[in-house]
Structure 1
């Protein structure tokens, strides 16, 4: 006779599967498979963590012969034109909806990109025309769409949805989306760099019960940027937990389809992927 915990878990998985079906019906759209020829056999996903600076400045030889994927504000740095990523991915709605953000990000992308680059964006951004008009100024950029719909529930159901590009593990962090998109590309080995995720060391609560965050990115001219969070501590920690759990779901799926994700980020807090030091 099954244990009560197993029964509760199965019931939870079934309920989450039903909820995911409704999410897919409401949010997901038909997307074209990424039938892109590869230039190299391996892909490096470059997050924006501060550790990426060491890789780009002192150990960039590791990137030779590999395709690159950059994210978020990487295009505002000199490294964007220097390393010429083949792929770029954006997910946060603010990039597509806020005019100031569009000017800050998409203008340099369009102006700097003089090589073949594929830009991945969520289907929710398809209805936003302003950013697409800016990107169209460069004939070198091709836009591709993906479904960022959170999918949870029974493993077999999740894997079906991932394979059919209907959704992905909760993309609480942009790197979850990057890895899921990368797994749809014809690479057998995917490296993850700049994925410090050392947020636990970067948050603190002052005497007024206000949560503060000391954020750092590889492209920041200052070492850290102090931000007052509008969230409560438990809300932030819950968000972190969702992100770290999603990486384990990404790893389980990558193993299922016979691909390897290797974390080369020194000191990374992500505990889902196998590690490799390149130092």
Structure 2
């Protein structure tokens, strides 16, 4: 009995402390003037860049085209980008917003920017964290392609009491911890209150691509649906910007824990909003979301 009381009190005090800290973070980091655009359809599809998306795009393309489409990070590298013409695009990788014309080691970012400038001839919302405002990427896009409308969101991580977090998420003052861009995109789309959100291409199978070499360096193969496996090498996952030491296995699995915990919070937030959040990925290690297989009879509103 005493142990139960102790755990309950400890949890309450932790939530109280996290709520107060989150309030301070909001006052310092968040803008109260940012708003998300209204949804364009009742159903949306969030497309992750996992290898399984190839299967989904072959099998479920007709269904996806009926929904409001959300792509992330380097999806523009795929020929499907011009076919789908997504209404929404989310970029959360901080490396995008320190990129400049002189940057030489991020050809992937340069390629995405090139596609945005040369090929996006339809209206598209580009969701980026508030701190991206004024970056080279955003200044270039705003100056050279009026079809792309920036939507800045508060990337303030909110923790604390459940009721407290959910109200602030809904108000757009912050989001839950987002180890991946998919989690960020789902938080944003939930706050836009679609009736149903389908998730595709969320393999989340990083542990299958982890290796340790003879020097105990942690290596990883970062596979995306638009990559050719033979072209993707195992590379060190460095823990510091000077690239002197890789992450430990313990650090890497802690990061994976945070990623999967993010999906549990998303499920709770979806239930709070009354939004159906469904995982339609053909391969996925996410156990927090209801799995579905689409049939020809499925139709988007």
TM-score category by the smaller chain? Answer: over 0.9
Q: State whether structure 2 residue 200 is matched by structure 1 residue 198.
A: no
Contact 1:216/1:225, CA 8 A, preserved across alignment: no
Q: Which deviates further from its counterpart, 72-81 or 204-213? A: 204-213
Establish whether residue 145 from structure 1 lines up as the match of residue 152 from structure 2. yes
Matched residue SS, 1:225:
coil
Contact 2:39/2:194, CA 8 A, preserved across alignment: no
Could you say what secondary structure the match of 1:149 adopts? coil
SS of the equivalent of 2:221 reads strand
- Map of 1:58-207 to 2, 5 A cutoff? 58-99=59-100, 100=103, 101=106, 102-207=109-214
1:28 equivalent in alignment to 2:44: no
- C-alpha distance in 2, partners of 1:227/1:10? 42
Which residue matches 1:46? 47
Query: RMSD of aligned C-alpha atoms?
Result: 1.8
- Aligned-partner Cα distance in 2 for 1:123–1:94: 14
Specify the alignment match of 2:264 in structure 1. 248
Q: 1:110 touches 1:135 (CA, 8 Å); kept in 2?
A: no
Measured in 1, the distance between the counterparts of 2:229 and 2:266 equals 33
| Unmatched segments (≥5 aa) in structure 2 | 239-246, 296-301
Aligned residues: 278
Classify 1:215/1:133 alpha carbon distance in 2 versus 1 (closer, same or farther; 3 Å): closer
Cα deviation for residue 129 of structure 1 reads 4.5
Range moving further from structure 2, 127-136 or 182-191: 127-136
TM-score normalised according to structure 2 size: 0.87
Q: Contact between 1:31 and 1:145, CA under 8 Å: does it hold in 2?
A: no
**Partner-residue secondary structure (3-state), 1:183:** helix
Q: Note the C-alpha offset of 1:36.
A: 2.8
In 2, Cα distance between the equivalents of 1:211 and 1:129? 32
Cα shift at 1:37: 5.0
- Following superposition of structure 1 onto structure 2, how do residues 226-237 of structure 1 map, counting pairs within 5 Å? 226-230=234-238, 231-237=247-253
Aligned match of 1:270: 286
Contact (CA 8 Å) 1:151, 1:167: kept in 2 or not? yes
Q: Distance in 1 between matches of 2:257 and 2:39?
A: 36
The residue number in structure 2 matching 1:214 is 221
* TM score, norm. by length of structure 1: 0.93
Q: What is the CA–CA distance in structure 1 between the aligned matches of 2:178 and 2:218, rounded to whole Å?
A: 23
C-alpha distance in 1 between matches for 2:39 and 2:220: 41
Supply the distance in 1 between the matched residues of 2:39 and 2:50 (Cα, whole angstroms). 29
Query: By how many angstroms is 1:96 displaced?
Result: 1.6
Q: Distance in 2 between matches of 1:161 and 1:124?
A: 19
SS of residue paired to 1:115: coil
Secondary structure of the residue that 1:217 maps to in structure 2? coil
Q: Contact 1:87–1:117 at 8 Å: present in 2 too?
A: yes
Gaps of 5+ in 1: none
Instruction: Give me the whole-angstrom Cα distance separating, in 1, the residues matched to 2:83 and 2:142.
Output: 20
Q: Quick one: distance in 1 between partners of 2:212 and 2:112?
A: 32
